[in-house]
Amino acid sequence: MQLQYVLFTKHSFKDTTTTMKKLYRRSFVKQLFTGVSGALLLSSYKSNDPQNLNINLKVDDNSEAFWESVKAQFKFAPNLRYFNNGSLGSCPLSVQNDTNAYRATLDAFPSKYMWGGWNDEKEAVRQKVADLFSVSNEEIALTHNTTEGMNLIAKSFDLAPGDEVILINHEHKSSVIPWTVFQAEKGVILVRPVIPILPKTVEEIVAIYEAAITPKTKVISMCHSINTNGMVLPVKEVSEMAHKKGILVAVDGAQAAGMFDINLKELKCDFYAVSAHKWLFAPKGIAVFYAKKSSQNYLKPLIVAKGYKDQSIRRLENYNTRNLPELLGLGSAIDFINNIGKEKISNRSYALKHYFREQINAIPKLNLKTPEDDRLSCAIQTLEVVGKNVVSVQKELIDYYGIDTRPMSAYELNGVRISFAIFITKKDIDYLVDALKTIAG
């Protein structure tokens, strides 16, 4: 028997669109939002207004009621349980409001704001990003997505035929394709060691990387968290090992930054690319690119335009006209994160993982395909319903229960990838587990 039949009619999605249009209009005229239960009065919410946040997002409150109020900051389609943050994040209403207001400001005087009027605001966002990741503002470029960051890295290097770059078998196409097109096609060798789906220790992974190194190795390009099953790779340990041998380390942090607390200085990698529209809850098409000061000289901008002689990291984001409202919206997203607390978000990510895994471990037909150790996974878990094809499981979840997940067939995972972002509550997990039990039969 189905737990609950949720029919996603065209009507319900149309309603959402209408709601969002209304929402935009309201934010524009700065009217009060009402009817958001347990949440802030979002129209009066300024993301950096501590007074509002002291009332509702108290740092010492870790109750489910608190997390329900965090959830209320996000507006999903009716009846949708969004366990698919790994594909794309959602902006909390404060970020939507602020970004919409920035769009209105820009459209009221386009030339002023696009060409210098927001320089200070842009630098303030860079500083917020730098503070969030514990690095200098001179090490942060504000780009568009992780794919761009990995292209920038792979295209920059002047490698010779026979030089080697290490990318494990699980790397995302956003790294594999740039390294293939810009380097392998001219004779650079991409070394692809295999990492098991369920490694037991950090040391085991570092040893696989170390064994793949030869005197020809120039760069290791690695994900921080693998997109298929959420496995977290030991960036710090690999960087320490690689640097001793003069090898640079480039990291794709799309599925890590924002999910758990990251100190880029301590991670020690040379480059780190992040899509802010996933786990940082920023507007779409905004990203963070970190380059360690001492490694910046390796990089060449993907795009050159006026100002290209700038020697600072800003030369990597020199696009001429660009999406400034979304860029400033990243500042609001970081305010939102800081108002909750990045450590608190990190702890919550692990708590949701544990809550989920404890229940799943007790159900024989549900098979976790993500390493258990907290050093090896966090808020992305991939799960197989034994005896069922993942495509039909994913379809049942969305069609009958309104639960959005991502099917993962690669590496024989045959599992749905489940993401536990901060708008997921324990009640949502109970609902998901009940649905999975019913599907498993």
Question: Which residues in this chain contact ligand PLP in the complex, by CB under 6 A?
Answer: 145-147, 172, 174, 223, 227, 252, 254-255, 275
Nearer to ligand PLP, 163 or 171 (CB): 171
Q: How far is the CB of 227 from ligand PLP (least distance, A)?
A: 3
CA–CA gap between residue 367 and residue 381 (Å, rounded): 11
Nearer to ligand PLP, 227 or 377 (CB): 227
Q: How far is the CB of 418 from ligand PLP (least distance, A)?
A: 14
Q: Enumerate residues 6+ apart whose C-beta is below 8 A from 342.
A: 132, 261
Q: How far is the CB of 387 from ligand PLP (least distance, A)?
A: 28
CA–CA gap between residue 56 and residue 44 (Å, rounded): 13
Q: How far is the CB of 87 from ligand PLP (least distance, A)?
A: 6
The candidate with the shortest Cα–Cα distance to 221, out of 298, 129, 278, is 298
AA identity, residue 333 = A
Nearer to ligand PLP, 23 or 250 (CB): 250
Nearer to ligand PLP, 70 or 258 (CB): 258
Nearer to ligand PLP, 148 or 163 (CB): 148
Task: Return phi, psi of residue 400, to 5°.
Answer: -100, -20
CA 361 to the chain's CA centroid: 27
Q: How far is the CB of 51 from ligand PLP (least distance, A)?
A: 34
312 is written with which tokens? 């600072």
Our CA dihedral for 380, 382, 383, 384, rounded to 10 degrees, sits at: 170
Alpha helices in 109-201 (DSSP H): 110-112, 119-132, 146-156, 173-182
Q: Contact, 94 vs 23, CB < 8 A? A: no
CA–CA gap between residue 340 and residue 261 (Å, rounded): 13
Q: How far is the CB of 253 from ligand PLP (least distance, A)?
A: 8
Q: How far is the CB of 255 from ligand PLP (least distance, A)?
A: 5
Nearer to ligand PLP, 57 or 132 (CB): 132
Mapping DSSP to helix (H, G, I), strand (E, B) and coil, where does residue 366 land?
A: strand
Helix/strand/coil percent split, the chain, to 5: 45, 15, 40
Nearer to ligand PLP, 143 or 156 (CB): 143
6 is written with which tokens? 């949720």
